[in-house]
Amino acid sequence: MKRLVVLGTLACAFGFVACTDAPPPKAAVAKPVAVAPKPEPVAPKPEPKPEAKPEFKPDAPGSEIAALILASEETILSSQMAGRIRQVKVGMGDEAKAGTTLIEFDCAEQRAQLDAADADYRGARETHVARLKLQALGAAGELEVTVAAAAADKARSQVTLRRSQLAYCSVNAPFRGRVARLRVKSAESVQSGQPLIDLVNPTALKAQIFVPAAWVVWLRPGAPVIISANGQSFAAKVSKLNSRIDGVSQQLELEALIEEGEGLVPGMIGVASFNAPK
């Protein structure tokens, strides 16, 4: 038993020496863990800026503004009576002198009413004369003469009324011009106030222009304007300025008279050029 203990002691001793002579075990080194690199933030691409459009500055000298060519004299002739049209004497585009009859109505009834009124007036007048003679003889009083005179005056006013109504039977041109639109035809029945014909004078033209409100500081009647239309240029002068500026558009309406507008037609669109002060 003791022998076994000694042997075990010796074995342990030799084993210890062997263990001490062996190099110590290396400590386990942790391997570095590969970390994926963080993606760099990508800067957003700048949005392409829209190309700046050239701004129109109406306040700049020599700026151009649209102008509407109009006739200085134009009107819509309407019927002053209800009746049937007997004859239309003009057509679209025809020229008419001042006082020329354009449309005639069938006025047989109006002429008969005038004749009746004239007969009533003659009878009332003769009655008045007879009352005057009787008054001179002492057979009629002052009241009878006064009543007869009033009846004669009333009958005369009826004649004047019927004659004025008979004048409505013809529609005449108030000025020299051309027919722009014919709204009725022969044998057509119309009502009082119904439009019949459009008449314009193309020889006297003007331009309607809307300019910036800031121009009211220097723009005055008589200022020169150049109107360009149909490939030609026409001299004009400011004739009228509106007394009020439009509150929404902040524009001022004006009219410019065109001195010689040969080649222009009412309704055309042109360009007005101004020389604003610097």
CATH number of the domain that 212 lies in? 2.40.30.170
80 and 186 together in one domain: yes
Query: Does 127 reside within a domain?
Result: yes
In the chain, how many domains are there? 2
Please say whether the beta carbons of 219 and 254 come within 8 A: yes
128 and 184 together in one domain: yes
What's the pLDDT score for residue 49?
Answer: 57
What's the pLDDT score for residue 263?
Answer: 84
269 and 179 together in one domain: no
Query: Does 26 reside within a domain?
Result: no
Query: Does 58 reside within a domain?
Result: no
What's the pLDDT score for residue 231?
Answer: 86
178 and 207 together in one domain: no
| Cα–Cα distance, 9 to 92 (Å, whole number) | 145
Last residue of a domain, one of 147, 175, 195: 195
| Cα–Cα distance, 117 to 161 (Å, whole number) | 9
Residues 6 or more apart from 118 whose CB is under 8 A from it?
159, 162
Please say whether the beta carbons of 82 and 165 come within 8 A: no
267 and 212 together in one domain: yes
151 and 175 together in one domain: yes
- Burial code (b: 16+ CB inside 10 Å, e: under 16) for 215-253 equals beeebeeebebbbebeeeebebebbebeeeeeeeeebbb
Domain that holds residue 234: 64-73+201-273
230 and 94 together in one domain: no
Last residue of a domain, one of 136, 169, 195: 195
- Burial code (b: 16+ CB inside 10 Å, e: under 16) for 56-70 equals eeeeeeebebebebb
Average pLDDT for runs of 10 along the chain of length 278:
45 43 48 50 56 42 79 93 94 92 93 94 93 86 90 94 92 93 93 95 91 90 91 91 92 92 89 82
85 and 180 together in one domain: yes
Query: Does 224 reside within a domain?
Result: yes
181 and 208 together in one domain: no
Query: Does 53 reside within a domain?
Result: no
Q: Structure tokens of 196?
A: 């019949």
Could you give the C-alpha distances from 21 to 12, 13, 25, 26, 139, in angstroms and in order?
14, 12, 12, 15, 184
What's the pLDDT score for residue 13?
Answer: 43
Query: Does 109 reside within a domain?
Result: yes
167 and 224 together in one domain: no
Count other Cβ atoms within 10 Å, centred on residue 160: 11
Query: Does 111 reside within a domain?
Result: yes
Cα–chain center distance at 186: 33
Query: Does 107 reside within a domain?
Result: yes
Could you give the C-alpha distances from 119 to 19, 123, 124, in angstroms and in order?
165, 6, 9
128 and 175 together in one domain: yes
| Cα–Cα distance, 174 to 97 (Å, whole number) | 8
Last residue of a domain, one of 177, 195, 213: 195
Angle at 28 between CA 27 and CA 34, to 5 degrees: 145
146 and 233 together in one domain: no
Q: Structure tokens of 264?
A: 């222009």
Please say whether the beta carbons of 222 and 210 come within 8 A: no
For β-strands 189-190 and 232-241, DSSP reports them as unpaired
